[in-house]
Chain A
Amino acid sequence: MMLSRRTALLGLTSSWALGRSALAVAGTATSVQQSRFVVVILRGALDGLAAVTPYGDVSLVSLRRDLLLPDPAQPGGLLDLGGFYGLHPALSGLHDLYANGQMLPVHAVAGHYRSRSHFEAQDYLESGADRRLNSGWLNRVAACLPVNHAAPDGNGLAMGLTVPLLLRGPARVGSYAPPSSQHPDQILYSQIAALNAADPVTGPAFRNGLKARGFSEATLDGTSPVQGKNGQKPSAFSVLADAAGRMLAVPTGPRLAALEIGGWDTHAGQKGRLNAPLRQLDDGLTALRMGLGPTWANTVILVMTEFGRTVHMNGTGGTDHGTATVAFLLGGAVKGGHVGGVWPGLKQIQLFENRDLAPTTDLRAVVSGVLRDHLGLSQAALVSVFPQIPFSPENGLIRQA
Chain B
Amino acid sequence: MLFSGALTRFGWGPRGEDTLPFVPTRSELSEQITAPDAARFAQVGSTADGLIALRQQRKGKLQGDPLVKPLFQAEVATQLDALLLTNQPFRERLAWFWFNHFTVSLRQGGTRGIVGAYMREAIRPHITGKFSDLLLAVMRHPAMLMYLDNSSSIGPNSPAGLKRHRGLNENLARECLELHTLSPAGGYTQNDVTQFAAILTGWGVDMQAQQPGFSFHAKAHEPGPKTLMGKTFPDGEEGGLQALHFLGTHPATYRHIATQMVQHFIADTPDPADVTFVANVLHDTEGDLATASLALLDVPSKGNGGSKFRTPMDFAVAVMRALSLGQADTPSAPDDPRSAAHTLFGGFAFLGQPLWTAPLPNGWSDRAADWSAPADMMARADWAWRIAAHVKTGNPLDIAHHALGNTLRKPTIEAIKHAGARQDALTLLFTSPEFQRR
Q: Residues of A with Cβ closer than 8 Å to B? A: 43-44, 116-120, 153, 158, 160-163, 168, 174-177, 179-180, 182-184, 188-189, 191-192, 194-196, 198-199, 201-210, 212-213, 262-263, 265, 267-268, 314-316, 318, 320-321, 353
Q: Would B184 and A195 count as touching, CB distance under 8 A?
A: no
What are 19 residue pairs bridging A and B, where the CB atoms are less than 8 Å apart in the complex?
A118-B361, A119-B179, A119-B362, A153-B374, A161-B352, A162-B371, A180-B379, A183-B382, A184-B385, A194-B415, A195-B432, A196-B432, A208-B374, A212-B375, A262-B359, A265-B360, A315-B152, A315-B156, A318-B149
CB distance from B259 to the nearest CB of A (A): 14
Q: Is the CB–CB distance between B369 and A188 below 8 Å?
A: no
Q: B381 near A195 (CB under 8 angstroms)? A: no
Given contacts A320-B170, A320-B171, 13 further A-B contacts (CB under 8 A): A43-B360, A160-B375, A162-B352, A174-B374, A175-B374, A179-B378, A180-B382, A188-B385, A195-B431, A207-B374, A268-B169, A315-B156, A315-B169
When the two chains form their complex, are residues A314 and B169 in contact, meaning their CB atoms are under 8 A apart? yes
Taking the complex as formed, is B323 at the interface, i.e. its CB lies under 8 A from any CB of chain A? no
Chain A: minimal CB distance from B176 (Å): 13
Check B58 for interface membership: any CB of A closer than 8 A: no
From B65-73, B119-127, B160-168, B232-240, the one touching the partner chain is B160-168
Question: What residue in chain B is nearest A269 (Cβ atoms)?
Answer: B152
Tell me, in angstroms, the Cα distance from A122 to B185 when the chains sit together.
18
A53 → B minimal CB distance (Å): 22
Cα distance A120–B184 in the bound complex, in angstroms: 9
B299: interface (CB < 8 Å): no
Pick the contact of B152: A160, A176, A204, A316 (CB < 8 A): A316
Give the nearest-CB partner of B421 in chain A: A188
List the count of A-B residue pairs having beta carbons below 8 Å apart: 163
* B103 CB within 8 Å of chain A: no
State in angstroms the CA–CA spacing of A117 and B170 once bound together. Answer: 12
**Is B438 engaged at the interface, CB distance under 8 Å to the other chain?**
no
Residues of A within 8 A of B161 (CB): 315
- B433 interface residue (CB < 8 Å to A): yes
Interface contact A318-B428, CB-CB below 8 Å: no
**What CA separation (Å) do A161 and B351 show in the bound complex?**
8
Which residue of chain A is the closest to B431 with respect to CB atoms? A192
CB closest residue in chain A, given B369 = A168
- Given A117-B178, A182-B382, the answer on whether A196 and B352 have CB atoms closer than 8 Å is no
Contact with A116, one of B153, B179, B190 (Cβ below 8 angstroms):
B190
Contact with A along B188-232 (1 / 0, CB 8 A): 001000000000000000000000000000000000000000000
Name B residues whose Cβ lies closer than 8 Å to a Cβ of A: 107-108, 148-149, 152-154, 156, 161, 166-171, 174, 178-179, 184, 190, 309, 350-352, 359-362, 368-379, 381-382, 385-386, 411-412, 415, 419, 424, 427-428, 431-433, 436
Q: Say whether A316 contacts B108, CB under 8 Å.
A: no
The reply to whether A315 and B370 form a contact with Cβ atoms under 8 Å apart is no
A262→B174 contact, CB < 8 A:
no
Choose from B178, B362, B376 the contact partner of A161 (Cβ within 8 Å). B376
C-alpha spacing A161/B424, complex, angstroms? 24
Taking the closest CB of chain A, its distance from the CB of B423, in whole angstroms, is: 9
B373 touches A199 (CB 8 A): no
Q: Are A320 and B372 in contact (CB under 8 A)?
A: no
Give the residues in chain B near A158, CB-CB below 8 Å: 373, 375
